[in-house]
């Protein structure tokens, strides 16, 4: 089963060409935020510069799982965006809100797991993401970040009633982000 199939469908009836343009616009905006591991269909998609809460909500509304999951990368690259999560939640449907809580919680744990690798890239933007939703999602606060990610992934899998490896999905976003930053660092020497 595809990850996109597990996310409740949005009631958005935007034509596919508009949806693609919106996706390309969001990916272009992510590039402006130093998140460049996602590809896009169009070179001309302009970045809008949405407020953080709107960007987070728009990411969660995307039909493409790869773009929805980029909310993790945004939070890892710009931890200050954590302040916008409550406002983003207010813009989303109940299933989208829960998905954002899972992705936010994954970001918190990934930041702790990869702090030594993330910190040099995030530099002056670095701050710890507060753990806002672990208790609400029933995730114990004891254990290593990796152990807690495993429990979070299992809870997410139970919620979506799918066999998706959510733990691997979360980790994959962080690895793609860090790998791209490392490559860019080498290219710019």
Q: Is residue 8 one of the residues assigned to a domain?
A: no
Give percent of the chain with pLDDT exceeding 90. Answer: 67
Q: Is residue 50 one of the residues assigned to a domain?
A: yes
Q: Is residue 1 one of the residues assigned to a domain?
A: no
Burial class (CB in 10 A: 0-12, 13-18, 19+), 44: exposed
Q: Is residue 117 one of the residues assigned to a domain?
A: yes
Angle at 85 (CA atoms; ends 47, 10), nearest 5 degrees: 70
On whether the CB atoms of residues 169 and 69 are closer than 8 A, the answer is yes
What is the rounded distance in angstroms from the CA atom of residue 136 to the CA atom of residue 86?
Answer: 14
Q: Is residue 7 one of the residues assigned to a domain?
A: no
User: Helices marked H in the chain — which ranges?
Assistant: 3-6, 16-32, 52-60, 65-68, 70-77, 85-90, 94-113, 115-122, 134-137, 145-160, 166-187
Q: Is residue 5 one of the residues assigned to a domain?
A: no
Mean pLDDT for the stretch of residues 1-24: 47
pLDDT in tens, 22-58: 888 898 899 888 888 887 666 655 556 889 999 999 9
And the tokens for 3?
A: 């990850």
Q: Is residue 9 one of the residues assigned to a domain?
A: no
Q: Helices 166-187 and 115-122 sit at what angle, rounded to 10 degrees?
A: 40
Identify the pLDDT of residue 169.
96
What is the rounded distance in angstroms from the CA atom of residue 39 to the CA atom of residue 110?
Answer: 23
Mean of pLDDT over the chain: 86
Domain ranges, residue 51 = 14-187
Q: Based on the structure, what is the number of domains in the chain?
A: 1
CA distances from 27 to 6, 18, 60, 128 (A): 22, 14, 13, 25
Identify the pLDDT of residue 43.
63
Q: In sequence order, what are the residues at sequence separation of 6 or more whose Cβ sits closer than 8 angstroms to the Cβ of residue 143?
A: 151
Q: Is residue 4 one of the residues assigned to a domain?
A: no
């Amino acid at each position: 089963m595809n990850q996109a199939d597990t996310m409740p469908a949005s009631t958005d009836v935007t034509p596919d060409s508009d949806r693609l343009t919106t996706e390309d616009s969001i990916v272009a905006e992510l590039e402006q935020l130093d998140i460049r591991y996602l590809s896009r269909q169009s070179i001309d998609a302009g970045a809008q510069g949405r407020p953080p809460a709107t960007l987070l909500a728009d990411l969660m509304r995307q039909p493409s799982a790869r773009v929805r999951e980029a909310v993790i990368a945004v939070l890892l690259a710009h931890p200050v965006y954590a302040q916008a999560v409550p406002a983003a939640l207010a813009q989303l449907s109940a299933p989208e809100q829960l998905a954002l809580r899972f992705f936010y919680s994954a970001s918190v744990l990934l930041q702790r797991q990869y702090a030594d690798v993330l910190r040099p890239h995030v530099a002056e933007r670095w701050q710890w993401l507060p753990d806002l939703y672990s208790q609400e999602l029933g995730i114990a606060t004891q254990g290593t970040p990796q152990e807690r990610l495993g429990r979070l992934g299992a809870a997410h899998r139970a919620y979506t009633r799918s066999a998706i490896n959510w733990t691997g999905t979360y980790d994959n976003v962080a690895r793609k982000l860090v790998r791209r930053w490392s490559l860019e660092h080498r290219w710019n020497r």
